[in-house]
Amino acid sequence: MNLNDIVKMQDLDLNNKKVVVRVDYNVPLKDGKVDNPKRITATEKTVKYLLEKGCRIVLMSHLGRPKGKVVEEYSLAPLVPEIEKAMGVKVHFASDCIGPEADEVVAAAKGGEIVLLENLRFHPEEEANDKEFAKKLAKHGEVFIQDAFGTVHRAHASTSAITEFLPSAAGFLIQKEVEFLGGALETPKRPFAAIIGGAKVSDKIMVLNNLLDKVNVLVVGGGMAYTFLKALGYTVGTSLLEEDKMEEAKNIMQKAKDKGVKLLLPIDHLCALEFAECVPTIITDGQDIPAGYMGLDIGPKTIKLFDEELAKCKTIFWNGPVGVFEMPSYQKGSFAIANTLVRLTKEGVITIIGGGDSLNVLKKAKISTSEVSHASTGGGASMEFVEGKELPGLTALLKKK
């Protein structure tokens, strides 16, 4: 899927319309206030475009996992000041997302104002993709704009069923995600490299197999790398290992060889005798890990190898850390990847980061997401996109629909 496949908000007549917008305002709260407003500010371009068109905007989102019940700590009410600050207009709050109270608040709002509906997931019908519930949500508008990429992999009432009742299109945030992720997968500037890290091969099998049909270079790091190394006959000590996935690892390596994809694994490791901070560490001479030791980060030779190979590429996709970056002692490898991407972005390389852990690496390394070409807001959605899965919330926006 690419940007030309979906209906964009610019394609619709939105002047003075009542517009329902699905946003992903699943933000962290602390002491009753928004702790990090990035997901709110990420929708600023879409919301301000609609405000300029004189639209009455009805924002709807989920927060947390209330499991179909009203849970006060998951109320969206604390978000109102942050939305007003970001968008610069009055925000009216409806204490439910459907029903008479919501209808009254929406009816009272004027063009150029915003209504925020209460948490969608206070109703079990939302996650059940219930059509009657979606129809009630659709009553709030004349047009539906999808701008919550983090939810498009879910067939929920506010992402899927609602599109049956209103003309629907993608907001600017969705467009940016499809432009970068779709463009990288379908028409990348080559050489195209993917760096896939994280703990388990089992979590990334579909991603790895799908990427092998598209990339020129595949870098494998993190805990999952030890399963690959063990499959090649190297010793991995007490490192994380999925013995039942060794055959799958062999198949992936064979597929890479058959397709002419350069598959890179760590060539040295930072190891310790236990999974802890402030314990003695060693760096291995090669790919073998001594008995009793566990690999917790890539070593300096690997950092140099990965940097040199990535520097030859024109498009790079990164998902997953290459070490236990949560502990300062084992951050060096993941920080090195992040800094390599920042440097290459300045040199004109297209750099795309997907997945919450990789974004957390940037945060810990004090690197702004603006220093790479694109940092996906999607988490699970971005990975399912890369896996090649159908995403119901995007399928609903296809032009052919």
For residue 215 the two structure tokens come to 């990339």
Annotated catalytic residue within 39, 176, 230, 245: 39
Annotated catalytic residue within 45, 356, 364, 388: 356
The span from the CA of 78 to the CA of 82, in Å, is 8
Relative to beta strand 29-30, strand 33-34 is: antiparallel
Annotated catalytic residue within 200, 250, 255, 343: 200
| Matching residue, tokens 């970068």 | 180
Annotated catalytic residue within 64, 68, 112, 380: 380
**356: annotated active-site residue:** yes
Per the DSSP assignment, residues forming a β-bridge with 187 are none
| Matching residue, tokens 């990090």 | 36
**380: annotated active-site residue:** yes
| Matching residue, tokens 């089992």 | 202
| Matching residue, tokens 């802890």 | 276
**39: annotated active-site residue:** yes
**54: annotated active-site residue:** no
| Nearest of 151, 175, 172, 150 to residue 162 by alpha carbon | 151
For the annotated catalytic residues, the residue numbers are 39, 200, 356, 380
